[in-house]
Amino acid sequence: MGEEKIYKGNMKILFMTTFAFFLSFFVWFNMAPFVSTIRDSLRLTTEEIGILLSINVALTIPARIVIGMLVDRFGPKNVYTILLLIISIPCFWFALADSFWQLFIARAFLSVVGAGFVIGIRMVSEWFPPRQLGLAEGVYGGWGNFGSAAAAFTLPSIALLIGGENGWRYAIALTGVLCIVYAFFYYRSVENTPPGKQYQRPNRNGAMEVTSYKSMFGLILMSIPLYAALALITWQLSLTSLIPTAAAGITYIILALTYLYNVYKIWSVNRKHLKAGVPKEEQYSFKQVVILDFAYAITFGSELAVISMLPMFFEETFSISTAQAGMVASSFAFMNLVARPGGGWLSDKFGRKKTLLILLVCVSGAYVGMSQIETSWPIFASIALTMTCSFFVQAGEGAVFSMVPLVKKRVTGQVAGMVGAYGNVGAVLFLAVLGFLNPSLFFMFIAGSAFFCFLACWFLEEPCASRESRKENIKVEKSGKSKEEVAYN
């Protein structure tokens, strides 16, 4: 049985799932084009707008972890369908809101849709062979991410077409309608796996399944930054007059208790099988997850942070208008269309570890270059360097997620959830650092972080030499079937 027959229909699945992710980002950033309009319409303060923008990413961190567990257990078809249906509710809520706190609650729930990324990683990994996985995941991530740019371009035009002071409300409500319609369409059009292929589920639920005591303690430690990032966001909000100190204190306590409960779940999920001993062929190295966490925190985290500060940086450095600065800065985001698939393709072609190492060195060098941009530079040279830096950053993201599905198939959703969450953790950290450094030092800080990540990536194992692959080879030898048939079943 050839790969063409085994994975027949995979391009349709890739298109359908990429559009689901595109729609997720379209909804996630449906507020961005209307910030000034909403501020004027509801008479919000600059402080309140800042809080709404912060809360828009806050719950994405825990949501990616939870969604990762759900997709491994119930399958991407069901989880993506339910997510799109549920997320339509806060879309309508936000569109109908007439006060800051109504906007705040709706925006907090809308931030969960950013976790949709994790679902598609598992779906795409089921429908493509390992040798094509990097490119497929890169297309999914790169073109899906474009939903945020599409929202910026299309929603204001829709609001203008509708007209009136409530045009923005109808435009945002329309994104909720799109979620409902596409949820049903997606459910009727896709399956979790090709016909006859078994969907591998984790043996236990409630926390990531690990295969050694060392890995379990590593998971406990690596969970700390996820809660620390939420605590940092809470602290930043507490500095405003809108979030009382007492409310912030209660939030810290809730976060601490949630972390302790998470530690308990990690222990309870893993203790029995660790005590009994895990067969060598079933083991995987949690070190892979840790390094990929850091790599995505550097790449995707710096992308989110830099996109948020670039417009003002260009406006102040080159004395151009806000509109012009926004158009120039958008070049950083637009590179996603080719860079992320490019990083995945390079990983498929030349090796995943080697590609990531080279891209991280290039990321570090490009950010060093960005730190040197000043008023005397020709603006076209600055734009060219910005686009070059963006290419390396987003190609690095593609290289990271070319490896994620190959760590351990049955926990792919949870691994993708943790790595994806670390991307948001990186963004929170870099934005916090930006508050204390000028742009030049900020870029140098990212460059140094990328270089340390490069050093850490030397300890990565090339996925094709992993225990998972060796286990597959053993099955091939015992069964007498082709490798494609074994991988398929």
Q: Which CATH superfamily is domain 3-194+284-458 in?
A: MFS general substrate transporter like domains (1.20.1250.20)
- Residue 434's pLDDT is what? 85
Helix axis angle for 147-162 and 322-334, nearest 10°, is: 140
Contacts of 386 (CB under 8 A, 6+ apart): 310, 328, 329, 331, 332, 370
- CA 450 to each of CA 36, 340, 357, 396, 454: distance values in angstroms, whole numbers, following the listed order: 35, 17, 10, 11, 6
Percent of the chain topping pLDDT 90: 46
**Which residue has better confidence, 453 or 45?**
453
Contact indicator for 97, 103 with CB cutoff of 8 Å? yes
- Residue 470's pLDDT is what? 44
- Residue 464's pLDDT is what? 55
Percent of the chain topping pLDDT 70: 92
Find the mean pLDDT for residues 352-359: 94
Helix or strand holding residue 376 (H, E): none
- CA 441 to each of CA 131, 344, 426, 446: distance values in angstroms, whole numbers, following the listed order: 40, 30, 17, 9
Asked if pLDDT for residue 473 goes beyond 50, the answer is: no
Alpha carbon distance 192, 205 (integer Å): 19
Contact indicator for 17, 83 with CB cutoff of 8 Å? no
Asked if pLDDT for residue 485 goes beyond 80, the answer is: no
Asked if pLDDT for residue 474 goes beyond 80, the answer is: no
User: Cβ–Cβ contacts within 10 Å for residue 193, how many?
Assistant: 18
Q: Which band of pLDDT confidence, cut at 50, 70 and 90, is reported for residue 78?
A: very high
- Residue 363's pLDDT is what? 96
- Residue 465's pLDDT is what? 42
Which of 44-58, 94-108, 159-173, 200-214 has the largest mean confidence?
94-108
* E strand residue ranges, 232-321: none
Contact indicator for 288, 462 with CB cutoff of 8 Å? no
- Residue 3's pLDDT is what? 57
183-194 pLDDT, tens per residue? 999 999 999 988
- CA 185 to each of CA 20, 82, 123, 396: distance values in angstroms, whole numbers, following the listed order: 10, 12, 16, 33
Helix or strand holding residue 25 (H, E): helix 10-28
Q: Where are the domains of the chain?
A: 3-194+284-458
305-354 pLDDT, tens per residue? 888 788 778 888 888 776 677 677 666 767 888 899 999 999 999 999 99
Alpha carbon distance 240, 250 (integer Å): 16
Asked if pLDDT for residue 137 goes beyond 80, the answer is: yes
- Residue 344's pLDDT is what? 92
Q: Specify the amino acid at residue 359.
A: L
19-74 pLDDT, tens per residue? 999 999 899 988 878 887 888 888 888 778 878 877 877 788 888 888 988 998 89
- Residue 2's pLDDT is what? 55
- Residue 469's pLDDT is what? 44
Find the mean pLDDT for residues 85-89: 95
Mean confidence (pLDDT) of the chain: 86
Helix or strand holding residue 191 (H, E): none
Q: Which band of pLDDT confidence, cut at 50, 70 and 90, is reported for residue 4?
A: low
> Phi/psi zone of residue 43: left (φ > 0), alpha (ψ -120 to 50 degrees), beta?
left
**Which residue has better confidence, 461 or 80?**
80
Lowest mean pLDDT among 128-132, 224-228, 257-261, 438-442: 128-132
Q: Specify the amino acid at residue 191.
A: E
Asked if pLDDT for residue 388 goes beyond 50, the answer is: yes
Find the mean pLDDT for residues 299-307: 88
Asked if pLDDT for residue 380 goes beyond 60, the answer is: yes
Contact indicator for 398, 355 with CB cutoff of 8 Å? no
Helix or strand holding residue 398 (H, E): helix 379-403
Stated pTM of the model: 0.85
Query: Torsion angle of alpha carbons 165, 170, 172, 177, nearest 10°?
Result: 180
